[in-house]
Amino acid sequence: MRYLDTFSFFFVIICSGEKYMNYSEIKQAVKMLSSEWNLGKKEAKADNDICALIYLMVILEESEEIVKYKEGKKLIGFCGYSKENSKKHKLSKSFYGFIKNRLYKSKHIKDLKALKEYEDNYYYVPAHLKNYFDGEISILIVNNNYRGKKIGKKLLLDVFEKARRNNMKNLQILTDESCNYKFYECLGCKKIYETVIKNKETLNKETEMAFIYEKRL
């Protein structure tokens, strides 16, 4: 994980506390993301580690708080949420943004334009919903070997409660048919928008349904 090690000193100094992730947790999170999600590696003509690290930096830059599920020191899953117009954690968020921008310029990203197009393709919020939510579920992921143990449910319910205590009234959840999106309905979330997105790696031969759910807090 050479890309991460380049910034190891800064991660150790800045990344700490329960609201985010320490250096060890970040390394485990990148490995988890890399092994389970594509995250634009085909489009960028890059290996999945650097795409996963960029994605994680975006998530940490946006998130108000990260909730983790661990067994000892092993990271099993994590969930985060963002809050509109938040002024908290400015230093940490600026640091994550700096790392993200440095990684975008890396020689290991062969096609940055295609990567940005891939990222934009999965942000499909229509104009009439852009200012509707107080925040968003920024990420929810559980190690594939631990699926079916209700860890995702526990993480999401914890995040709902933290957002509620943070004086938020509703949360946006972006998901698609590659995920078990019915899971959100079981937790009281309501689907309020759906659309079709085209995945560039399929060369427009296939489309994918994407959804926006609302969770009232």
Q: Are 142 and 77 in contact (CB under 8 A)?
A: yes
pLDDT value, residue 98:
84
The pLDDT confidence band at residue 4, using thresholds 50, 70 and 90, is low
Render pLDDT for 113-130 as a digit per residue (tens, 0 to 9).
Answer: 878 877 777 778 888 998
Render pLDDT for 77-125 as a digit per residue (tens, 0 to 9).
Answer: 999 999 998 877 777 778 788 888 888 888 888 888 878 877 777 778 8
The pLDDT confidence band at residue 11, using thresholds 50, 70 and 90, is low
- What does pTM read for this prediction? 0.87
CATH number listed for the domain at residues 2-216: 3.40.630.30
Q: Are 67 and 52 in contact (CB under 8 A)?
A: no
Q: Are 92 and 83 in contact (CB under 8 A)?
A: no
Render pLDDT for 29-75 as a digit per residue (tens, 0 to 9).
Answer: 999 998 888 787 777 777 778 888 889 989 988 999 999 999 999 99
